[in-house]
Amino acid sequence: MRLDKFLADCGTGTRSEVKKLIRSGAVRVIGLDKISPDTKIDEKSAEVYLNGEPIGYKKYVYLMLNKPENCLSATQDRYKTVVTDFVPSEFKHFDVFPIGRLDIDTVGLCILTNDGGLAHRLLSPARHIPKTYLAEVDGALSDEDVKAFESGMDLGDFITKPSRLEIISAAENKSLSKVTIFEGKFHQIKRMFKSRGREVTHLKRIAMNRLLLDGNLSEGEIRELTTDELELLTYDTE
Ligand code: URA
């Protein structure tokens, strides 16, 4: 692999930035006296240093975004903000995409990655990966609703798998609840509540598999997952 591509893939800068770094002498490759942006290295074994710090090659990147409202779960759109608009410049060249889709008005946990294999495994209907949401609805939820979510609902074009509804608070005109579903059909949670005569007034995803949304991340903020968080996300998907 070319040295400039290697450094860019490691997240040290854009291709033109790393070319400048190489030419400025900030980069050292053990065993090579002369290097240039097109120097070929073996990315698995080369010992590369940037300003004296060792650089490790990264093939995949995993980002956690607290998705805001008015933002599409897409990689591009002519008019609307998309989730990839929040990707910091050092990760741009990874060409990440969102794992699954949240509605434009749904906020919360959105994972962006370039790891297509993981995305496929997390979205596979056969794996029943749990996704948890906080849902605010317009009316009083009751134990009858909990039972209906548990038994599976006929939504016309499909019957939902048993899901979990936990009522956090219920008042005459507003209830707050936690919902866990094990599939991800279009508008699923809104449609489930609708079939119980309720409108969802606010929806936020707070967990995917065992990974929780970082409560310190404000809407629109994004950061790389830690190794432990990646394990929670990929739990039981191998
Ligand atoms: N269910 C919905 O209705 N909308 C979402 O964005 C996610 C789950």
Which residue matches tokens 């990440």?
96
Query: Domain check: are 216 and 203 in the same one?
Result: no
pLDDT value of residue 150: 98
| CA–CA gap between residue 45 and residue 186 (Å, rounded) | 45
Domains identified in the chain, total number:
3
pLDDT value of residue 161: 96
Query: Domain check: are 22 and 79 in the same one?
Result: no
- The CATH number of residue 216's host domain is 3.30.70.580
- Residue nearest to ligand 1 atom 2, measured at CA: 187
Q: Which atom of ligand 1 lies at the shortest distance from residue 187's CA?
A: 3
For 134-175, the pLDDT digits (tens) are 999 999 999 999 999 999 999 999 999 999 999 999 999 999
- Whether the pLDDT of residue 44 is over 80: the answer is no
Query: Domain check: are 118 and 227 in the same one?
Result: yes
Q: Which domain holds residue 193?
A: 131-208
- Residue nearest to ligand 1 atom 3, measured at CA: 187
Residues 149, 133 contacting (CB under 8 angstroms): no
In the residue annotation, 103 being an active-site residue is answered as yes
| CA–CA gap between residue 78 and residue 69 (Å, rounded) | 17
The average pLDDT across 31-50 equals 92
Query: Domain check: are 144 and 183 in the same one?
Result: yes
- The CATH number of residue 23's host domain is 3.10.290.10
Q: How many CA atoms lie within 13 A of 48 on its CB side?
A: 33
The average pLDDT across 45-52 equals 91
HEC sequence for 167-224: EEEECCCCEEEEEEECCCCCCHHHHHHHHCCCCEEEEEEEEECCEECCCCCCCCCEEE
Q: Which helix (H) or strand (E) holds 150?
A: helix 143-151
pLDDT value of residue 39: 96
Query: Domain check: are 104 and 202 in the same one?
Result: no
Query: Domain check: are 47 and 111 in the same one?
Result: no
Binning pLDDT at 50, 70 and 90, where does residue 121 land? very high
Q: Which atom of ligand 1 lies at the shortest distance from residue 105's CA?
A: 6
State if residue 204 touches ligand 1 by the CB under 6 angstroms criterion.
no
Ligand 1 pocket test target in 73, 103, 104, 193 with most atoms within 8 Å of CB: 103
